Chain A
């Protein structure tokens, strides 16, 4: 079947079997391999993407469900010139990255949180990323990175 959707801001048309998961569509049909497959059953969050701004496990979403909607993957988070966003830069600066396999999903979980709650507490940050497993970091530096990005964005707004 034909699926039309906005992918990282670009109108995209792709032909795929009706039972294709969104994760497979992104990785195998569109070559966007930043979205990772960790468990295939929606438990680990490595395949997290934003569907109309909501954080979803793309392994559990059928590609057809994205029809007419907007999908943002890790490839769509950076700045237009390809440099990292403020949140991505904070991940680097605060040591939120080790093996990196959970990182794309974590960045999207952070973005989804900050879009809805610009001033989250550390506990709220932990809640927001609780669906994204990380086996390396113990989460602390990820929480630091999201927390400092929230603060910087608030300050940026108040200065503007």
Chain B
């Protein structure tokens, strides 16, 4: 692999300095003298018809300036992708506890609170449904839209279905000597970004437009939704993304609603409007990772060769569809895991209920199905008396293999290398059999046992069949010889701005310090689709590369002209351009000369992902242009007297292709694994009759520094030719296999299998949940 000056070398994050100094301005830190504060009045019922909203008394309170409802938006503020079934404020019905009904702007918090208490909202309670099987019954109340008001008609509460088909899995299973047939369940997960949602909207003179500072992931989608629902042109809505305090998939739809509400209030009042959610409101109102129920039947020969997988999954979308159809589609593509089968069928049903609503969350459907298939592989290994890594190596996808979807893979596939490397790093061949032997007898009370577990992952790069897949970058050399780089793909803590900077510096042959990346802004950067799906490095990185190549070409021409040689004969020595006569000229001199001869030193480049094709009807095709692969091993101790699980060591090896920004890549890996550890052991979003049970960090526990061990991470940098400098995606993949690795380790320690997430104390200790009476109190208090 070639050696680069900046790519893959130690570098500081471009936005680290302002963050360590505390000078970075997040939305909550904005303030203007005539600023209003705003809040959303939300539903305290899981399903109800909105009978009447009367704001007249609230508006009489001194300092209260505006109250808006769905009537204040075009088409009631209808938005959503791929299905537009949601509103900027609820229209006609509310479908979950926390659904926004009205939004109020006031001069101060006291007046705002009084208005919240005074606003009259009459709701007529409707029958609700909280269980996916009950939701699918013909007798269930329909939570989605009825044919009269539906844009695209779902069938009852069955929102959508996806399939994957290879041969006849049922027939193949009937012939398999070994069949694993089990059900697995995952729960909703809260993103728990440390910064709650925030938006700051500043109206333009004469109320002709609005500038919105939004803690969102995708400023261009946010603008598009406001353009559609506020009735303004693209030129009259500007979205700026200040530093975002974490997102993990969670700052899309909720942020689009809050942005449109604040923008509308700013346009109505002619004054800046700030909305920042308290933690309780953030947790109640925002969407979650979907919950899934999965039934897996895996058939194998006695020698361990996998023959068939038959998978049925049901996905809880909650009250709205949000992005859950795509989450479910991704889950269907990944449900069989990175393995070869003779036959495979996947059927995924997506269901409306009144359990909050589900949306994007790091891993995006794959965390859920990876948990199921990787536990199933472990169960199969135990049944076949095979080493779990051996069984995976026997069946895993390798270069040139064809997947269950009918996709022929390229030479970038490196899952076997990941499995072999994680096996060596973790000393698996010594420790796993040792723990297995120690744990072959029933535990005596209070015995502390150790265990080890493995899980593998593959994860499709970027959007796949979810949408147009491209990114655009721009570069401009400034009068002071600094270089401005923009990308339509944003950085909400992931480090992509640093990766893009290093790529541009590498291509241009300039020091990264010359390159400045302004905050993403719909006025200064180019629409590049959403910043989701671990697509920044490959899509945005490639867009940066092709943009920089154009500018580098211009500079080379200018340098050659200045030095009287051909562009091809130039040599670069750091920032210097050197002629064949070994005559050097500086970057500044080349820029000056380029300007003298009339060249415009800007460039704009677009990169589109290689073509994919997927038949929703046949369940076959090429769903993603390529995949990331990885393998993780967890070591745990289990206190058999209390059920307490501690993750003591953790190893992760991922096939990332070339790592562009190592510090950032390790950060993504460790952070992802830590969220996966929370998903495995403690994170539990419970709805009781639609009421969220944990509304703040006192009850919704996420891992602290004491819950995570030091993680040993490594990257298999097998080049991926379509990626920039051979890089692949990384952002989501650390999270995905962590939970099954940990649960497999618990089984190794205790001899018992837990097939539901999270593996909390009672599930580890007694194998089932202790019934805890739910309550609506925390939720109702949080909405006050």
**A, B from the same assembly:** yes
Residues 644 to 675 of chain B near chain A (Cβ within 8 Å): 663-664, 666-667, 669-675
Count of interface residues, chain B, beta-carbon cutoff 8 Å: 57
Whether B702 and A133, one on each chain, are in contact in the complex, defined by CB atoms closer than 8 angstroms, is: yes
Residues of chain B within 8 A of A89, CB atoms compared: 20
Whether, in the assembled complex, B326 has its beta carbon less than 8 Å from a beta carbon of chain A, the answer is: no
Q: With contacts A99-B195, A100-B243, A133-B702 known, is A138 near B708, CB below 8 A?
A: yes
Whether A135 and B706, one on each chain, are in contact in the complex, defined by CB atoms closer than 8 angstroms, is: no
Whether, in the assembled complex, A98 has its beta carbon less than 8 Å from a beta carbon of chain B, the answer is: yes
Whether A141 and B195, one on each chain, are in contact in the complex, defined by CB atoms closer than 8 angstroms, is: no
Nearest A residue (CB) for B29: A33
CB distance from B713 to the nearest CB of A (A): 9
Whether A137 and B19, one on each chain, are in contact in the complex, defined by CB atoms closer than 8 angstroms, is: no
Q: With contacts A36-B195, A44-B194, A101-B245 known, is A138 near B24, CB below 8 A?
A: no
Residues of chain A within 8 A of B710, CB atoms compared: 122, 140, 143
Residues of chain B within 8 A of A139, CB atoms compared: 670, 674, 704-705, 708
Whether, in the assembled complex, B492 has its beta carbon less than 8 Å from a beta carbon of chain A, the answer is: yes
Whether A74 and B13, one on each chain, are in contact in the complex, defined by CB atoms closer than 8 angstroms, is: no
Nearest A residue (CB) for B244: A99
Residues of chain A within 8 A of B479, CB atoms compared: none
Residues 38 to 80 of chain A near chain B (Cβ within 8 Å): 38-41, 43-44, 46, 73-75, 77-78
Whether B17 and A92, one on each chain, are in contact in the complex, defined by CB atoms closer than 8 angstroms, is: yes
Whether, in the assembled complex, B587 has its beta carbon less than 8 Å from a beta carbon of chain A, the answer is: no
Nearest B residue (CB) for A107: B20
Whether B705 and A99, one on each chain, are in contact in the complex, defined by CB atoms closer than 8 angstroms, is: no
Contact pick for B16, options A78, A92, A102, CB 8 Å: A92
Whether, in the assembled complex, A114 has its beta carbon less than 8 Å from a beta carbon of chain B, the answer is: no
Which of B's residues lie within 8 Å of A, judged by CB? 12-13, 15-26, 28-29, 31, 191-196, 243-248, 278-279, 492-495, 663-664, 666-667, 669-675, 696-698, 702-706, 708, 710-711
Whether B193 and A99, one on each chain, are in contact in the complex, defined by CB atoms closer than 8 angstroms, is: yes
Nearest A residue (CB) for B663: A95
Residues of chain A within 8 A of B702, CB atoms compared: 133, 135
Whether B22 and A99, one on each chain, are in contact in the complex, defined by CB atoms closer than 8 angstroms, is: no
CB distance from B782 to the nearest CB of A (A): 11
Residues of chain A within 8 A of B697, CB atoms compared: 38-39, 41, 43-44, 133
- Rounded to whole angstroms, the CA-CA distance of A97 and B245 in the bound complex is 11
Whether B12 and A100, one on each chain, are in contact in the complex, defined by CB atoms closer than 8 angstroms, is: no
Residues of chain A within 8 A of B663, CB atoms compared: 94-95, 141
Whether A140 and B664, one on each chain, are in contact in the complex, defined by CB atoms closer than 8 angstroms, is: no
Contact pick for B705, options A43, A91, A94, A142, CB 8 Å: A142
Contact pick for B706, options A75, A126, A142, CB 8 Å: A126
Whether B13 and A97, one on each chain, are in contact in the complex, defined by CB atoms closer than 8 angstroms, is: yes
Contact pick for A101, options B195, B675, B696, B704, CB 8 Å: B195
Whether, in the assembled complex, A150 has its beta carbon less than 8 Å from a beta carbon of chain B, the answer is: no
Which of A's residues lie within 8 Å of B, judged by CB? 27, 31, 33-41, 43-44, 46, 73-75, 77-78, 82, 84, 88-89, 91-95, 97-104, 107, 122, 125-127, 129-143
Residues of chain B within 8 A of A136, CB atoms compared: 194, 246, 493, 667, 671
Residue contacts A-B, CB under 8 angstroms, 29 given: A36-B28, A36-B195, A38-B195, A38-B196, A39-B697, A41-B697, A41-B698, A74-B21, A74-B22, A97-B20, A99-B193, A100-B19, A100-B24, A100-B243, A101-B195, A122-B710, A129-B705, A130-B704, A132-B705, A135-B194, A135-B246, A136-B246, A137-B670, A137-B671, A138-B667, A138-B669, A138-B674, A139-B705, A141-B666
Residues of chain A within 8 A of B706, CB atoms compared: 126-127, 130
Whether B19 and A103, one on each chain, are in contact in the complex, defined by CB atoms closer than 8 angstroms, is: yes
Whether B194 and A92, one on each chain, are in contact in the complex, defined by CB atoms closer than 8 angstroms, is: no
- Rounded to whole angstroms, the CA-CA distance of A90 and B12 in the bound complex is 10
Residues of chain B within 8 A of A43, CB atoms compared: 696-698
Q: With contacts A98-B495, A99-B246, A134-B194 known, is A73 near B22, CB below 8 A?
A: yes
Q: With contacts A43-B697, A95-B664, A138-B673 known, is A100 near B705, CB below 8 A?
A: no
Q: With contacts A46-B194, A97-B19 known, is A140 near B711, CB below 8 A?
A: yes
Contact pick for A36, options B13, B17, B26, CB 8 Å: B26
CB distance from A82 to the nearest CB of B (A): 8
CB distance from A19 to the nearest CB of B (A): 12
